[in-house]
Structure 1
Amino acid sequence: MNGLSVLSERNFRRFFVGQSASLLGDGMVMVALAFAVLDLTRSPASLGYVLAARSVPMVAVMLIGGVIADRFPRRRIMVTADVARFLGQATMAALLISGHARIWELAALQALHGVATGTFNPASTGLVPSIVTGGRLQQANALRGLSISIGSIAGPAAAGVLVATASPGWAVAADAATFAISAIMLARLRLPAHLPPPAQSFLRDLREGWNEFSSRTWVWTIVTVASFTNMLFSAFLVLGPAVSEHSLGGPAAWATIVTAIGAGSVIGGIAALHMRPAHPLRTGVLALALCPLPTLGLGTHVPAIAVAGLAILCGIGLTVFNTLLETALQHHVPDKSLSRVSAYDWFGSLAGQPIGQAAAGPLAAGLGTYPILWLAGIAQLLIALVTLAVPAVRRLPAGGDRERPTPVTARQES
């Protein structure tokens, strides 16, 4: 199958196995963390604060992570981040399983997780072009999307079983183990020697990355859209567990809905393996317009099975959008500044998320859960559709003249 030919490349195969493992754990911990916090506090607002405790440090260190990833070996950065996340999640699991967890401890450990992820993500985007051939970049990104999707299905399903039969702490423990697997697989990559750029100040590095980012209208427009979309989608993530517990059937219903997003992502990932749109961002933004559907479903009091059906469509749209955007960045942005541009992308895309996470609970308490879900869903839909009016987004061609690093086979990155 041509869409899977990228797996013949050994480095990518190892990378893919490690990332698939850690993403499976991520799928488990989203369900586990939600019900761990609700068990302790019975408060959706507390869940929002814990999620924000991870998001804020992640966003705060993202730009620093981009500079570091363009200066130092990206694999080394990613291994260090995975080890930190393993230690943090293992500690949280021990606290939950022993029954001694407190909200401030969960928030602090999630902050550690956020810092590690903020350094990992820009390095990851920059690493992929060095472990696959250029013509297979979209395949590689589509398969990464598929691994997210499979983790989003298997992870919440496994977490739902563990939460119902044991405790949320055991799902968090499984998540910790997956970061150890990822670190081991990353350590086994064999890469060209890292050639550091000329020495210059951190601020100049940051400024050069900003120039690359801001000079491309399609980049900063899409990042702005993603930022508002993530902020508004937080209403679904924060209020969804409470709605599920009160009126849809409890943890099993929420696990089903989250799993449905993963199922849709699998479909979207398979589609992204084969689609070759002439204007990738036009296709991606149309796909993103499917994202608010499950939020609107929750807001209209439909049954859990109907929300799950809408979540499938959301998953399709998110995976297609993310795959096409990441491939566009890797094709059109030079390697020497790719991690910094990616950092601005991650920073901007996630900047609104902690605001949404922290605000969703208090707003729902003041205005009502269902009105907030409706407002968030409609706003997401309008933002996605308005984006198509921007010519730079609508007309961006596939491919590009991306500069590539010169392979050095005599030495390997340490």
Structure 2
Amino acid sequence: MSEAETVTTATTKAAPAGYRRVFAVREFRAVFAAHLLSMLGVIVAEITLSVLVYDLTGSPLMSALAWAVGFLPYIVGGTLLAGVADRYPARRVLVGCDLVCAVCVLPMTAPGAPLAVLLALRCCLAVVSPIFAGTRMATLADILGDGDLFVLGRSLLRITAQSALLVGFGLGGVLLTVASPRQALLITVGTFLASAVLLRLGTRRRPARARTGGALVTDSLNGARQVLADRRTRALLLLFWLPPTFTVAPEALSAPYADDLGVGPAGLGLLMCALPVGTIAGELYAGSRLRPVTRERIALPLVCVTLLPYLGYAFHPGLAVSLLLLLVAGAGSAYTLGLDQWIVRDVPEELRGRAMTLLTAGLMTLQGVGMALAGAAAELVGVAAAVMGAGVLGTAVCVLAAREVRRTEGRDRG
């Protein structure tokens, strides 16, 4: 019996003990530490690269572009290269992705690196990211099983990502006060290399999930078609993708909204932190206090109401009320724990890596689209109305997507 199975068996005989059960699995501890290092490295790189581009060009547009290129290439890696996650051993893929990322960041530290090279290397990082994330998600099911431990493990990685955003922005800002942008990027190289070592030494080798021949791109596209052809899997992916498309609206518009409120940099910082803090609180509560059956039972009702707090922007609330609305909306993201259980249970194992890679690619791409649409809407109707509109339209979309998930529950596939 494996380490994860031993923990799972013990869990079924007692009340849920929360996240401590996941840390009892040695391999997960290595994955968790590697994830934390990678996240901090990516965030520091994003901040540093944005500053470096601004120093080189003096252009706010080019500095913003350095952020934007982190979203767009996700769809390339998530569709054309998704087959990597299933046709090669997972540990080799994960370590290889970390090494590729380190190799991409290293030239950025060289004095005199042209702007086009910097942006191209940033695109390469974004292409690799969905392959790494999808492979890690699929491997998590191998390490923790496809039950409650997987759900809690996924939740912990999301919580870590949100926490790393909060810590990483501050860490990046402090780092740039004592080091140049190019020196700061060397830290990112170190975090990727450390993550690769942790994954190589801390996880065991597992065979590839699917042995497929032919060209990688053809195999990846065929896999994506297989994943999306399954009605149940397609419905679950849409429910993962669509709510965040609208959830990002207030984050994308934090700066102009803070300016409208006249709250200064401190208020802007609070507005940017409120949604991640709410998300962390909601996931921690659901993961540690609710039983698996309860998390599944509330998932669909919760996803249908998670964007309703945005309707409060119709009244042009002040800072305190705005923060409360964002905290409540963030807490609603606890619905993802129920979705995690369904997708790992319902996706065929031989397609799991490609499905998880596609999930990540679609999630990041649609968040980028959501940010762009929020900005366009704010230009037309103002910031408060744009956030309120995201709440109205997003709620309607979430209800339709939840109905499709309900219809496909327990039915024949296809």
TM-score, normalised relative to structure 2: 0.77
**Preserved CA contact (<8 Å) 1:287 1:316:** no
**1:71–1:196 Cα contact (<8 Å) kept:** yes
Q: Which residue matches 2:198?
A: 185
Where do residues 6-405 of structure 1 align in structure 2 (5 Å cutoff)? 6-26=22-42, 49-89=65-105, 94=109, 107-135=119-147, 136-159=149-172, 175-195=188-208, 197-202=210-215, 203=218, 206-217=221-232, 219-244=233-258, 247-274=261-288, 275-278=290-293, 283-289=298-304, 292=307, 301-318=316-333, 320-390=334-404, 392-393=405-406, 396=409
**1:66 is paired with a residue of what secondary structure?**
coil
Determine if the alignment matches structure 1 residue 3 to structure 2 residue 15.
Answer: no
With structure 1 as the length reference, what TM-score do the two structures score? 0.77
Residue 62 of structure 1 contacts residue 343 of structure 1 at CA under 8 Å; is this kept in 2? yes
Q: Secondary structure at the match of 1:122?
A: helix
**CA distance in structure 1 between the aligned counterparts of 2:310 and 2:116, rounded to whole angstroms:** 29
Deviation of residue 15 (structure 1)?
0.7
Q: Give, in whole Å, the separation in 2 of the partners of 1:340 and 1:331.
A: 15
Contiguous gaps of at least 5 residues in structure 2 = 1-16
CA contact (8 A) 1:209 1:341 kept: yes
* CA positional deviation for 1:119: 1.7
- After TM superposition, give the deviation of residue 29 of structure 1 in Å: 6.0
1:269–1:37 Cα change, 3 Å: farther
State the distance in 1 between where 2:142 and 2:33 align: 17
- Between the aligned partners of 1:396 and 1:334, the Cα distance in structure 2 is 15
Render the CA deviation track for 1:159-179: whole Å, top value 9, x for unaligned: 455578988778766555433
Distance 2:186 2:263 in 1: 26
Gaps spanning 5+ residues in structure 1: where?
A: 398-414
- Confirm or deny: 8 A CA contact 1:52 1:357 kept in the other structure: no
Q: 1:156 to 1:102 in 2, by over 3 A?
A: same
| Change in 2 beyond 3 A, CA 1:52/1:312 | same
1:253-303 C-alpha deviation (Å, 9 max, x unpaired): 333333333322332232232433537566334434565467666675434
TM-superposed deviation, 1:312: 2.4
Could you tell me the percent identity over the aligned residues?
21
- 8 A Cα contact 1:282 1:393, kept in partner: no
Rounded Cα–Cα distance in structure 1 between residues aligned with 2:212 and 2:92: 19
Aligned-residue CA RMSD in angstroms?
Answer: 3.8
Counterpart of 2:83, as a letter, is V
Give the superposition deviation at 1:131. 1.8
For 2:353, the aligned partner's letter is S
- For residues 34 and 240 of structure 1, the distance between their equivalents in structure 2, rounded to whole angstroms, comes to 18
